[in-house]
Amino acid sequence: MYKSKAFAATSPTSVLSGMEIPRRDSLPDDVQIKILFCGVCHSDLHTVRDEWHAMMPTIYPCVPGHEIVGRVTQVGSNVSKFKVGDIVGVGCMVDCDSKCPTCQEGFEQFSPDTTFTYNSPDKYETAPVTYGGYSDSIVVNQRAVLRVPAHLDLAAAAPLLCAGITTYSPLKRNHISVGKKVGIVGLGGLGHMGVKIARAMGAHVVVFTTSPSKIEDAIRLGAHEVILSNDANQLAAHAGSFDMILDTVSAAHDLNMYLDLLRRGGNMTLVGVPEHQTPINAFSLIYGNKTLSGSMIGGFAETQEMLDFCGQHSITADVEVIAIQQINEAYDRMLQSQVKYRFSIDMASLEAN
């Protein structure tokens, strides 16, 4: 066991501050990684503040971070896919049993035995729970290590490990390609990735937003059109025309309004998590054989597929790089939607702490 520098919260109301955390010594199937950049996900904030207590209580101290890009510093004796010096990524999971039917089918994120990157029971008992990427190093089972295309900007590639796969997976599952019309609801950390990926897949991309100020940026990111979702005339002009709508918004909003825009057989997928339940008009689904679904990240193989796709199309997130000492301010700004569109922490800043 060794000590790693990290930033952690010690209670739901505390700020994140520097501390040392334990990391296990590498086992034969492990890869040790020096963390270079870690993206900041909204779920980091939810977990730090224990806002998902009913579903997943936070155990303190909590070290968030599951959008990790780093350099391999050590590999175990059974590791053949990676070598010291490789640029790699770690997403929302650091281990799984690999033998259950769910894992065998490539859906490790839904296996009851999967270990998530932070606030998940640590089967190695190095600590009560796993500690995430707001730290200078991490030790991960090789099955959870992903190869990051080295030509990508690494700070901007880090959010691909969550925001990228969260949007790529449902777009792929709906066979988005040339000739398809895709709507993206919301232009935030998830939405801007959805725009880039859907555009690269060849779709005609339309962004829904309530903010006229976002129109120019949506076009810059790759949208062909922008609809103000509070303009009934604009919505009516697109009724029954979308093959798929990807809803990235976590605030309360009317889902039925978007279901009415789907073509026959169209799909709407939710990746945002509103705090309260939203009523659904069954007729909006029944008339037209439409489907409403949800999606949660992706398995290891699909996440690697996403990284390869982003490498081929030179896709990264739009990021603001910050020092770890700015993380509390970044959380406040994230709550006020004052970032375009993702924070990425330069973990070298830990050395100054």
323-349: pLDDT as tens digits: 999 999 999 999 998 999 999 999 999
Cα–Cα distance for residue pair 92/94, rounded to 1 Å: 7
When the pLDDT of each residue in the chain is averaged and rounded to a whole number, the result is 95
**Helix-, strand-, coil-residue percentages of the chain, each rounded to 5:** 30, 30, 45
- Dig out the tokens for 331 from the structure: 């959380």
Task: Tell me which of 264, 294, 324 is where a domain ends.
Answer: 294
Indicate if 154 and 7 belong to the same structural domain: yes
Q: Is residue 302 part of a domain?
A: no
Is the pLDDT at 275 greater than 80, yes or no? Answer: no
Indicate if 9 and 154 belong to the same structural domain: yes
- Predicted confidence band of residue 54 (pLDDT cuts 50, 70, 90): confident
Q: Is residue 43 part of a domain?
A: yes
Q: Is residue 304 part of a domain?
A: no
**Coil, strand, or helix at residue 74?**
strand
Q: Is residue 303 part of a domain?
A: no
**Coil, strand, or helix at residue 204?**
strand
**Coil, strand, or helix at residue 260?**
coil
- Predicted confidence band of residue 55 (pLDDT cuts 50, 70, 90): confident
Indicate if 175 and 143 belong to the same structural domain: no
List, for residues 72-114, the tens digit of each pLDDT value.
Answer: 999 999 999 999 999 999 999 999 988 999 999 999 999 999 9
Is the pLDDT at 182 greater than 80, yes or no? Answer: yes
Indicate if 20 and 155 belong to the same structural domain: yes
For 207, the domain range is: 164-294
Indicate if 63 and 169 belong to the same structural domain: no
Is the pLDDT at 273 greater than 90, yes or no? Answer: no
Predicted pLDDT at 250: 87
Q: Is residue 153 part of a domain?
A: yes
Number of domains in the chain: 2
Predicted pLDDT at 94: 96
Cα–Cα distance for residue pair 169/313, rounded to 1 Å: 16
Q: Is omega for the bond preceding 331 within 30 degrees of 0, making it cis?
A: no
CA-nearest of 111, 105, 89 to 306 is: 89
Predicted pLDDT at 100: 93
- Predicted confidence band of residue 52 (pLDDT cuts 50, 70, 90): confident
Indicate if 178 and 261 belong to the same structural domain: yes
Predicted pLDDT at 276: 76
Indicate if 100 and 201 belong to the same structural domain: no
- Dig out the tokens for 66 from the structure: 């599951």
Q: Is residue 12 part of a domain?
A: yes
Indicate if 103 and 204 belong to the same structural domain: no
> Residue 333 in contact with residue 339, Cβ under 8 Å?
yes
- Taking the alpha carbons of 193, 194, 199, 204 in that order, is the dihedral positive or negative? negative
Indicate if 49 and 186 belong to the same structural domain: no
**Coil, strand, or helix at residue 333?**
helix
pLDDT > 90: percent of the chain: 90
CATH number of the domain residue 222 falls in: 3.40.50.720
Indicate if 58 and 83 belong to the same structural domain: yes
CB atoms within 10 A of CB 154: 19
pLDDT > 70: percent of the chain: 100
- Dig out the tokens for 165 from the structure: 């796969």
Q: Is residue 183 part of a domain?
A: yes
Q: Is the pTM of the predicted complex or chain greater than 0.85?
A: yes
- Taking the alpha carbons of 47, 53, 55, 56 in that order, is the dihedral positive or negative? positive
Task: Tell me which of 294, 326, 341 is where a domain ends.
Answer: 294
